[in-house]
Amino acid sequence: MFNYKLTIQYDGTEYAGWQIQENAKSVQGTISEAIKVALKKEVNLIGAGRTDTGVHALGQIANFRYLKEITPFHFQHSLNSILPKDISIIKTEKVSGSFHSRFDAKERSYLYLISKDKSPFYYKYALLKKNVDVKILNQLSNIFLGKNNFTSFCKKNSRVKDKICNVNFIRWRETKNFYLFFISADRFLHGMVRTIIGTLLYTLEKKENKEFINTIINNKDREAAGEAVAAKGLFLYKVKY
């Protein structure tokens, strides 16, 4: 049995997230069907992270096992010719049989885009917002570093019992056209990144301080946090192993 690792980019606009689900188009399902056409065999495609509806990826990782050895370059070319234009396999490689894209991941990183001005080129992939004070946002963001209970920042109907996540990096940057938000952690809960961003922007708007956010964390109640920002600006940036 051979194990193959895929590095994937996709525009999540038309998909109900990564994970296969009934009566909805998913990225995982679309790629699985393309692999079935290319190999004439069904495979179990395992993803590193379950991106939500409308969320994009610059570096999603997935793996599958197959009985026969394939040539990564030729397989990648064939797969990309089958896949729709909004999904691309950017790297294919043979890895050890023990590799598991989800369980072996040590860190996942996300990027969020906020556009300063209205643009016909960015509206599908960025939130439009002016006058964001990056310096204050960075001061507020530091409270999320380290291990915290993120119950207040995940969807209420989440079935995950363990809400503890370890945030290793969180940072805002400003460029000529954008405000950029980066966050890395060992794991993320459903809706967590977008709710953190929404809460930080709300805290900035209301001129609150770190204690305001600390109270939200300690409340362990989703209703205490701010409204989640739109999914269209969020990208799974990369996965570290």
Q: Which residues are catalytic?
A: 52
Dihedral (CA of 77, 62, 26, 57) sign: negative
Report the alpha-carbon distance of residue 141 to residue 116 in Å, rounded. 20
Report the alpha-carbon distance of residue 239 to residue 60 in Å, rounded. 7
Cα separation values, 185 from 15, 150, 200, 203, 236, Å: 24, 12, 17, 22, 12
Report the alpha-carbon distance of residue 216 to residue 196 in Å, rounded. 11
Torsion of CA 15, 16, 22, 28, to 10 degrees: 60
Report the alpha-carbon distance of residue 22 to residue 10 in Å, rounded. 20
DSSP annotation of 223: G
Dihedral (CA of 165, 171, 172, 178) sign: negative
